[in-house]
Each structure stands twice: as structure tokens, then as C-alpha cells.
A and B are shown apart, each in its own frame.
Chain A
Amino acid sequence: MGKDFEIVIGLEVHAELKTNSKIFCSCSTAFGAVPNTQTCPVCAGFPGMLPVLNVKVVELAIRTGLALHSEVPGTCKFDRKNYFYPDLPKAYQISQFDLPVCKGGYLDIDVNGQEKRIGITRAHMEEDAGKLVHQGDISTTPFSLVDLNRSGVPLLEIVSEPDMRSAQEARAYVEKLRSILLFAGVSDCKMEEGSLRCDANVSVRPFGQKEFGIRAEIKNLNSFRALEKAIEYEAKRQIEATEDGETIIQETRTWDDEKQVTRSMRSKEEAHDYRYFPEPDLPPLHISREWVEEIASLMPELPEQAQKRLTGDYGLPVYDAAILTLTPESLTFFDQCLLVYPDAKTISNWMMGDLSRLLNQNNQEISDLKFQPADLVQMLKLIDEGTISGKMGKTVFEEMFASGKSPDIIIKEKGLVQISDEGALLPVIEDIINANPRVVEDYKNGKDKAFGFFIGQIMKSTRGQANPAMVNKLLKEKLDSLS
């Protein structure tokens, strides 16, 4: 089923811009405050109140545009988007309609080693709405409460071209966009706090057909997983419907994460007429070339540049470079290690292996780490010097992760020093050989297992602290000398 159909996806991503105050008033944007404590007559839509644009919002929008290779026109303007909802205090949202702050642009994604360029249509500034708090389900709640703390929080809506052809590509796009926004320092991109939200436009068409199919807009995609699952579900639904001879209608659908299905919210006929018109309370916004150039000159290193540095200067594989540049914290951690430890691949292996595993297991991020890059480096040096084995390193690393203690302290506390002294190891080896003459015979008869048995016994007797390479060498010498 579905082999003959191509899936077409375009994404609208809302990123909350990282400002201290709201877009049109001076209320705080901090997350998680007591409801309605970060409000004022402006963001609560009181009579006679007027918006004053927060310039920082424009700066962050321009920075995003530059990071996405967009054009930043010399003039943009704000418009009113009209609709009634209890969480929208003015009953219109101040947004940008036909003259957005950023036009065009692109970003490159990599799926299964295949690079692809995804076009950006536009990015525009707008204010967030408040939120409703229901008693249980919205359809049965006896009343709803309105929290306007979020009302007026600045958002940048970034609209992609319909360039993606699979759920995987869509996910890669959002991941890449997220890393760009994080590196550019314009958004925290926390999906769970709603500072990164995503709607997907999904349609299907027979391969070879030029025209797009009728699209459905999918809302309520609150995680990368939901994004992928919803697109897969929706594409399958549309393909099956098409194969059954049904007509797909243009509609807005919502993702039900519990039931793992998309459900219709409203059809095109029921869609709002937002009656956009220019916001008369804000004059058109003029953006000078000088300002754009100044912002460009202060642009932090972006993922693409960092990846080039990692693959070019340090010879890391493209895959490693992509993972290490998912967040600025990850790259900073890597760079700080690299300052005092020259082996980029070893650092990368530890970060992508044990570190990444432990972070995932504990649902943490690099910013939550209790130890410093210097601790990891110290541990790597201890391995290199032979003080501890690589296997011990894993134990030390887990303890560093759990307690934040430095490797030398952990080694001392756990008695984890590697025995690399020939004089100390030889008597142990000799004792074990002498105690097992039958196994020596096996070894002589060419049984490989015998060698492993001796290694096991030696490690056991040294509580794993014997330097494995040295044990290998000494044991072989000793056994071979017996024949």
C-alpha cells in the first residue's frame, strides 16, 4: 500500500524569542510564574492601551533571518489578525501578514547520509496568546480560567516551503532549525515549555504528479516523536482515503497523542476569516542596512560552521560533527575538552557514547552536568597514562556523572588504580600458571579458551586492576617460555 504516493510536508514552527520582556509591554517573560502575575493593562487588552515594540525582538528576528540565509527587507509592518477566543485579550493578535521581517532562506538537513536543502518561505514576528486552564476536559469543564502570563510573549513564526518528503525529513528539519536557533541564541527551544511549537502541513500525491494534493494542517505536535508519528499517520490516512476513492478535504486536524491518531478540528469552510489589516497603532518598521550588518557581525558560530570546523580541522566524521553540534552546550563542552586534550575523536566517542547514554537515561542535558570538561580530560589522561584501564574509565565516568567528583578522587575512593608494574604482575601470573597445570597442557595443545581462562583468573585475582595489555604480553611470554 502507498508505494505509489509521495508525501509532501511543509512546517510552521513557532519559536519563542529569548527576551526578558514581552513584545509590546515591559512585563516579564519568565516561564512558570503564578498565573496572571506577569500581566499589565497592555497585555491584558484594557481599553486605550497601546503597543510599544520591543526592539530586542526585532534584533533576534533579524539574527534568525541571517542564520537562515533569509532576506531582511528594509521595511516590514505589523498587522492585526482578528478572532475571538478567551485567551486572546484584544481579540486580535498583532502579527505580520504581507510584509514579514524575513523573506526566503533555507537550511540543509542530512537524512541517512543524504544531504537535502529545505527552503524557508518567511519568518514573521507576533505576540503569543494567553492560555486557558480547564477543570479536566475542555468539553466537560464547568468553567475555565484564563492565564495571561504568556499573552504578549514574543514569537517568531518560521514557515518552510513544502520541501520535505518524509516524517524523517520533517524531524531532521525541526532538529536542524532548533540547533540553529539555539546557536544563534534567539530561543531556548524547549518543546515541553512550549517555547518551540510546530504545525505540519501534510498532503500526498501520486509520484510524478506536479500539482500538490489537498493538504491538512496538523496541530498539537508537542514532541519530535509526535511530529513523526502524526505525519506518518496522516500520510497513511490520506493515501488510504485516496485509494478508496475518497476526496481529501482541506482542513485543520489535531494530533491525539494518546490514541495516536489525527482528528478533524475544522474544515476550510469553517476556517476563520482573520480579516488582516495593517496595525494602526504601530508605524511601519524601518530596518537599516547598518543595523543588519551590525547584527551579522556579532553573529555567534552557527552549527554549519562548527560542523565544518569539526570535520575539517579535527578530522571528525560528518556524523559525529552533526551530533556534537545539536546544541551549543554540547559543542562548548567538546571545545573545552579539546583545549587541553588533543584527541578529538576520543572526546567525541565518550560524548556520543557514555555521556549521551547517561544523559538520555536520566533525562538530562549537558547544562545539567555535575562535572566539568576538565574532569573528562583528566580521566582520559589517566587512561592514556595507564593509571586506569578503559573499562575502569567507564566506572569512573559513571561516578563522575552521578556525584560530580573528580576522577582522581573517585579512583582513590574506589581503589581503582591499574597495576602496570611488571614486578607486581609476574608473581601473580606465575602463581596462577603453577596452580593450573592441566590448563597449561590445554594451551599447549592449541586450545584458545585456555588463554582466556588465565586472563580471567589474573584479572580476578587483581580485582580487575591489572593492566590488560601488559597481562596479555606477560602471560603469553610466560606460557610460551614453558614449552
Chain B
Amino acid sequence: MELYELTVHELQERLSRREISSEEIVKSIYLRIHDVEDKVKSFLTLTEDLALQKAQEVDRVGSYHSIAGIPMGLKDIFCTRGVKTTCGSKILANFVPPYDSTASRRLDEQQGVLVGKLNMDEFAMGSSTENSAFFSTHNPWDLERVPGGSSGGSAAAVAACEVPFALGTDTGGSIRQPASFCGVVGMKPTYGRVSRWGVIAYASSLDQVGVFSRDVRDCALVMKIIAGHDPLDSTSADVEVPDYAACLDGDVKGMRIAYPKEYLQQGVDDAIKEAIKKALLKYEELGAIVEEVSLPHSEYALPAYYLVAPAEASANLARYDGVRYGHRDFEAGSVVEMFSQSRAQGFGDEVKRRIMLGAYALSSGYYDAYYLKALKVRRLIANDFDRVFNDFDIIVSPTTPSTAFKIGEQSGDPLTLYMNDILTVPVNMAGLPGMSVPCGFDRGLPIGMQLIGRAFDEGTLFKAAYAFEQNTGFHTMKPTLGVK
């Protein structure tokens, strides 16, 4: 095994036994990146000099606790002081923030080593990373296919062993869907679990920071670091963060697992249905109680999402006006022209589409019919989940209705593309924690299983996911970086 293939906890063990140095790991990681990046194209920015410096510093101190000296990647939506942060957009192509996001700062304080900033759909709007203003990222399992999105760079980099773990964000499925497409573990925690401070906003009431890793233990380890209350984010919850590692005991005996019938219809591929059914059998085999339930309002989640998220985005993205930072059209002859030209030139089509949608939904006379109605639907969706969680510990479903599609295959049709998130969006609408773990393959492409938990009960998700992973072993499969 090469160093770049090891997980966070494997690297941590070797570091603490002084078998390897952080510098060796970081060098191995960059060799790997230089080897495969032409094919995968995960990174928008590499921070090699900074990373080597940091690794040497960690080695000099020689205290290898937590993630000290271990490489990591950040979706380019996390502001990093002194390191360019583009959010996948031309409008921020040269933006260098003077501050760090809370989540990345917490990793930095644990001496994690930033390797680079990862590709994404522009402003996290998309499900394929094709909406990046710079280039598309390729799925390591089939380079002609998309890695999913919007955190496609993060998922692909972890799958291709370019980093052992990465952070992403998830507004409607942007962690779970790419994790599923790339065959890695991805967690979107409860809304409010991780601070959004310094994370460039798409839809503030839905955005949540989460983790990509190659196994459940790594995910739990990183979550423990980034989770917790932040006084700088008024929506971050002051709820104690349990010791997630203690949840990894593999014991699901008596755990009550629900599967919503609606999530196994809705045009879900047969191979995916099969994989989920097998996974449920595995859980029963391990002593869990598995029953079918109904989440009747889930079918309204996607339309409601496409009112709430664009509405918030239309306001969140209004600040990119060319006045203080970001792209400005210097040819503009007036203030209004400067606003409109800077934005016309700086934003891509999907971003413009959602800004238009959102501005329309909020406009005078339409607010009640659209935005307010969507908020009511949101309440109903949350009530559905609450009802199920009265009797069950977790909900299991497919993460996506299909496996990774080909680059360009859906890019002309936004509505088809939006369907990718049909199984993940309800979780964001209800603010619940959701996770995707590998549960099989269809013609060589990974299938993801989604686990949904009670608010702030990420621990039970880790418990269930770990038990499944340890008893199946899909997480040990690695892509060959070729074309299928």
C-alpha cells in the first residue's frame, strides 16, 4: 500500500508510532496528485509549498494527535485566508479571502495539512460539477462520467486517493450524491451542527458543511473536529458533540430501521433497488428490525426546494456586484451598467437561472403563492420525518435514483439534472443528518445507500454505517482511473 492510499486513522496510527513523517505523506499525496490529476481534475488550486511547510512544522513539533500532519482537501467554497477561494465562479476567480471559515480553521488548528481547493459546481448549484466555471471533474470509476455535485471535486479526490478526506457542503444533496457516485462515505450533518461562518452561502437555511472520507471511522473522526457551536454563526446549535468514535462498535442489534416506500419508487434504477434491499437484509441479519414506512410529502420536496433555495440564493449572490471585490466590468459607463455587466459576465447560466427563479418567487404578489407555500411544505416534510422517528432510529434509502451519468449527458436539461437530488433534498428541507455509504456496484459504478437520522443524532448514523461497512467491505474497493 502506498501512503496516499491509507485512511486518516491508518495514517494517524503510523504517525503516532513514528513509522512515517507528515512530510513523507504529503509528498506521496502530491506524487499521486501529479500522477492522476490530468484524468480526474479535482483541484482548482494546489497549495504544495504551504502544505510541505506545514508538514515539516508538524514533524518538527512531533505531536501527532488527531489529524496533525494528515493531508486534506477543501471544497473551494470554504474561505481560506491568503488562499484563493473561487466558489467555482469566474466572478470570484481572483478572490483571496482575509479570513478562514470556522470549519477549516478547526482542522487547521488540529494541524491538518491543506493540500488544495477542490472543484465544484458554481456557487454549489449543480449535481455534476459540470457547472464549474473552470472545468469538469471526472469520476475516478469511469473518467467519461461525472463525479456528481456540487462537491464533485471533493468526492473525486477522496475516491482517487488524492486526499484521505475532504470537506464539502450539502444544500440539497451536494455531499451525499457525489459520495454515492464516487463510492466514498459522505456525511451531511444536522443543520446547525457545523458552523457556516466563512462558507460562501448558496441557500442559508439549507447549507450545511460535511465530510468525505474513504471509511466511516474517518468520517466520524473529522466530524468530531468540525462539529460544535460557533458564536459567529447564529444558526449553529449549542448542542453537545458526542464522542462519535465510541459509536463505532458494529452493534445494530435491536436498531429500528425504516425504509420509505416512496424512495424505492420514483424512477429508481432496478440495480439500486436491489442493492438497497440487500443492504436491508444485511441489517436484519445483523439483528436490526427493518420495516417499510411512508413519507408522503417527500414528493413535494423537490419543487419546494427549487423555490426556497433559489430565493435565498437570489439574495445571497446579490453582493457580487463588482464594487468591493470579485469581477468588475471596467468598461461600464454607469453604476447600473457596472452591476449588470459585472454580473452578466461573472455568473454562469445555472447561477443566473436560479437567481431569476428566486427573484421571481420572492417578488411582490407571488411571495405567498411560492415562497410561503414552500415553507409550509417544508414543515409538512419535517413532520413526516418526525412521525417516523417516533418509532424508528434511522431511515435507509438509496442516495440517488441512478448511478453516475456521462459528462454532457444531462447538461442540456436542468429538470432531469434536478431529479438527481430527489432522494436527498427532503433531508435538507427537514434539517436532518444524512449520510451516504457505498453499498454495491452496477456495471462497475458505485451505488450509495443513504442513512437519515434524528436531528443531532449523527452518532446513530455512524453506528449503523460502521456496522454495514465492516460487514460488507465495499469501502475497500478502489477505482482504476480508466474508462468503462
A275-B234 contact given A45-B319, A47-B200, A84-B321, CB 8 Å threshold: no
| Set of chain B residues within 8 Å of A92, measured between Cβ atoms | 315, 318
| Set of chain A residues within 8 Å of B359, measured between Cβ atoms | 275
A50-B233 contact given A273-B364, A280-B312, CB 8 Å threshold: yes
| Set of chain A residues within 8 Å of B16, measured between Cβ atoms | none
Q: State whether the Cβ of A378 lies closer than 8 Å to any Cβ in chain B.
A: no
Min CB–CB distance A139 → chain B (angstroms): 11
Give the CA-CA distance A49 to B234 in the complex, in Å.
11
Min CB–CB distance B470 → chain A (angstroms): 37
| Set of chain B residues within 8 Å of A144, measured between Cβ atoms | 335
Determine if B235 and A281 form an interchain contact, defined as CB atoms under 8 angstroms apart: yes
Give the CA-CA distance A339 to B185 in the complex, in Å.
77
Determine if A45 and B101 form an interchain contact, defined as CB atoms under 8 angstroms apart: no
Give the CA-CA distance A90 to B312 in the complex, in Å.
13
For chain A, give the interface size range. Answer: 20 to 34
| Set of chain B residues within 8 Å of A275, measured between Cβ atoms | 314-315, 359, 362-364, 367
Q: State whether the Cβ of A86 lies closer than 8 Å to any Cβ in chain B.
A: yes
Determine if B204 and A48 form an interchain contact, defined as CB atoms under 8 angstroms apart: no
Determine if A281 and B204 form an interchain contact, defined as CB atoms under 8 angstroms apart: yes
User: In chain A, residues 340-382, which have Cβ atoms closer than 8 Å to a Cβ of chain B?
Assistant: none
Determine if A53 and B234 form an interchain contact, defined as CB atoms under 8 angstroms apart: yes
| Set of chain B residues within 8 Å of A283, measured between Cβ atoms | 234-235
A146-B323 contact given A50-B197, A91-B318, A277-B311, CB 8 Å threshold: yes
Contact mask for chain A residues 310-338; partner B; CB cutoff 8 A; 1 contact, 0 none: 00000000000000000000000000000
Give the CA-CA distance A275 to B355 in the complex, in Å.
13
| Set of chain B residues within 8 Å of A282, measured between Cβ atoms | 234-235
Determine if B362 and A50 form an interchain contact, defined as CB atoms under 8 angstroms apart: no
Interface of B is mostly: loop
User: In chain A, residues 273-296, which have Cβ atoms closer than 8 Å to a Cβ of chain B?
Assistant: 273, 275-277, 280-283
Q: State whether the Cβ of A133 lies closer than 8 Å to any Cβ in chain B.
A: no
Q: Which residue of A lies closest to B311 (CB)?
A: A277
Give the CA-CA distance A52 to B318 in the complex, in Å.
20
A47-B92 contact given A41-B98, A84-B318, A280-B312, CB 8 Å threshold: yes
Min CB–CB distance B327 → chain A (angstroms): 13
Contact mask for chain B residues 186-203; partner A; CB cutoff 8 A; 1 contact, 0 none: 000000000011111101
Give the CA-CA distance A276 to B359 in the complex, in Å.
10
| Set of chain B residues within 8 Å of A273, measured between Cβ atoms | 363-364
User: In chain B, residues 316-371, which have Cβ atoms closer than 8 Å to a Cβ of chain A?
Assistant: 318-319, 321, 323-325, 335-336, 339, 359, 362-364, 367, 371
Min CB–CB distance A81 → chain B (angstroms): 10
Determine if A48 and B318 form an interchain contact, defined as CB atoms under 8 angstroms apart: no
Q: State whether the Cβ of B85 lies closer than 8 Å to any Cβ in chain A.
A: yes
Instruction: Give the contacting residue for A47; candidates B79, B232, B311; CB below 8 A.
Output: B79
Determine if B98 and A47 form an interchain contact, defined as CB atoms under 8 angstroms apart: no
Q: State whether the Cβ of A66 lies closer than 8 Å to any Cβ in chain B.
A: no
Give the CA-CA distance A257 to B325 in the complex, in Å.
36
Min CB–CB distance B116 → chain A (angstroms): 19
Instruction: Give the contacting residue for B339; candidates A47, A51, A84, A89; CB below 8 A.
Output: A84
Q: Which residue of A lies closest to B91 (CB)?
A: A47
Determine if B235 and A277 form an interchain contact, defined as CB atoms under 8 angstroms apart: no
Determine if B199 and A91 form an interchain contact, defined as CB atoms under 8 angstroms apart: no
Q: Which residue of B lies closest to A148 (CB)?
A: B324
Q: State whether the Cβ of B405 lies closer than 8 Å to any Cβ in chain A.
A: no
Min CB–CB distance A130 → chain B (angstroms): 10
Q: State whether the Cβ of B95 lies closer than 8 Å to any Cβ in chain A.
A: yes
Give the CA-CA distance A310 to B343 in the complex, in Å.
62
Give the CA-CA distance A424 to B161 in the complex, in Å.
113
| Set of chain A residues within 8 Å of B371, measured between Cβ atoms | 277
Determine if B232 and A41 form an interchain contact, defined as CB atoms under 8 angstroms apart: no
Q: State whether the Cβ of A57 lies closer than 8 Å to any Cβ in chain B.
A: no
Q: Which residue of A lies closest to B95 (CB)?
A: A47
Give the CA-CA distance A48 to B323 in the complex, in Å.
17
Q: State whether the Cβ of A44 lies closer than 8 Å to any Cβ in chain B.
A: yes
Min CB–CB distance B230 → chain A (angstroms): 9
| Set of chain A residues within 8 Å of B99, measured between Cβ atoms | 41, 46
Give the CA-CA distance A86 to B322 in the complex, in Å.
9
| Set of chain B residues within 8 Å of A146, measured between Cβ atoms | 323-324
A residues neighboring B (CB under 8 Å): 41, 44-53, 80, 82, 84, 86, 89-92, 144, 146, 273, 275-277, 280-283
B residues neighboring A (CB under 8 Å): 79, 85, 87, 92, 95, 97-99, 101, 196-201, 203-205, 231-235, 311-312, 314-315, 318-319, 321, 323-325, 335-336, 339, 359, 362-364, 367, 371
Q: Apart from A41-B97, A273-B364, A280-B204, what 18 extra A-B contacts exist at CB < 8 Å? A: A44-B324, A46-B98, A47-B201, A48-B196, A48-B199, A48-B200, A49-B197, A82-B314, A84-B321, A84-B336, A86-B323, A86-B335, A89-B319, A91-B318, A91-B321, A275-B367, A281-B204, A282-B234
